[in-house]
Amino acid sequence: GAVVSQHPSRVICKSGTSVKIECRSLDFQATTMFWYRQFPKKSLMLMATSNEGSKATYEQGVEKDKFLINHASLTLSTLTVTSAHPEDSSFYICSPELEGTDTQYFGPGTRLTVL
Amino acid sequence: GNSVTQMEGPVTLSEEAFLTINCTYTATGYPSLFWYVQYPGEGLQLLLKATKADDKGSNKGFEATYRKETTSFHLEKGSVQVSDSAVYFCALNNFNKFYFGSGTKLNVKP
């Protein structure tokens, strides 16, 4: 089956610092990557969609200058939370779409805690 | 707009009990419907899906039927096992975007 990894799985940082989260599709290529955010006891909320080599498309209410997305290759995408604040503490999940299909797979998530 | 509502948990059952997790949706057009399962420390895994009205998705003893008239996609299993303990998410996909319910935690006791 399709394997998706995220690194780190957990990160604790101080307010004002930036955090980079990596998402890799280990055994397939993903033209499109979706990034989600999950609040406790809430559903996953789509943050942005990126296509390899193109700028990401952000959902309404998501600050593109705060959540920087880079989709440099068909197997790697990164989400950088810049100048993190406590309200950015959340569970971030990536979802690469198998190239040539509309099938999405999900990473295990990254728990971000901003102190 | 598009949204999914599922029953709040946690749901606690004894092994071999019957399971129902309710899910209803609102959507424009003709969405596909999904159930995902998330085991502790792991990512979401597709459990089953249905792409059109009256379709029944099934996998590992779980099943759900796409009911357009009631806009529902309830998850059922006749006899749950301890290994089924996880969080279950109902979701719809419309125009290649996913919309998720808030998840229902299932605890199955031996």
The CB density around residue A66, as the number of other CB atoms within 10 Å, is 15
pLDDT classification of A88: cutoffs 50, 70, 90: very high
Q: Specify the pLDDT at position B83.
A: 95
pLDDT at A85: 96
Q: B44, A106: Cβ pair inside 8 Å?
A: yes
pLDDT digit string, tens, across residues B34-52: 999 988 877 788 999 999 9
pLDDT tens, A54-67?
889 999 999 999 99
CB contacts < 8 A (A, B): 37
pLDDT for the residue B42: 77
Residue A83 pairs in a beta bridge with none
Transcribe A57-88 into DSSP letters. EEPTT--TTTEEEEEEETTEEEEEE-S--GGG
> Which of A81, A75, A95, A107 is closest to A11 using CA atoms?
A81
Residue A30 has pLDDT above 70, yes or no: yes
Q: Which of B43, B93, B101 sits opposite A107 (nearest CB)?
A: B43
Taking the C-alpha atoms of residue B27 and residue A49, their distance in angstroms, rounded to an integer, is 20
Nearest to B100 among A43, A102, A107 (CB): A43
Quick one: pLDDT at residue A1? 65
- Nearest Cα of chain A lies from the Cα of B16 at a distance, in angstroms, of 27
A105 interaction partners in chain B (CB closer than 8 Å): 43
Query: Residue A92 pLDDT > 80, yes or no?
Result: yes
Nearest-by-Cβ selection for B96 from A4, A43, A102: A102
**Residue % of chain B over a pLDDT of 90:** 78
List the structure tokens of B100.
């998720």
pLDDT over 80 at A109, yes or no? yes
Q: How far is CA B36 from the centre of its chain?
A: 6
B interface with A, Cβ–Cβ < 8 A, is: 4, 36, 41-45, 89, 93, 96-103
Average pLDDT, chain A: 91
A106/B45 CB distance under 8 A: yes
Q: Any idea what DSSP says for residue B87? A: E
For A50, other C-beta atoms within 10 Å of its C-beta total 24
Please determine, for residue A16, whether its predicted confidence score (pLDDT) is greater than 70.
yes
Quick one: pLDDT at residue A39? 80
* Residue of chain A whose alpha carbon sits nearest to that of B105: A41
Q: What is the mean pLDDT of residues A90-97?
A: 93
B100 chain-A contacts, CB cut-off 8 A: 43-44
Q: Which run of H or E residues covers position A27?
A: none
Give the residue-averaged pLDDT of A27-43.
Answer: 87
The pLDDT assigned to A99 comes to: 82
Q: What is the pLDDT at residue A23?
A: 96
Residue B96 or residue A80, greater confidence: A80
Nearest by Cα to B73 from B2, B1, B5: B5
Place of tokens 């948990």: B9
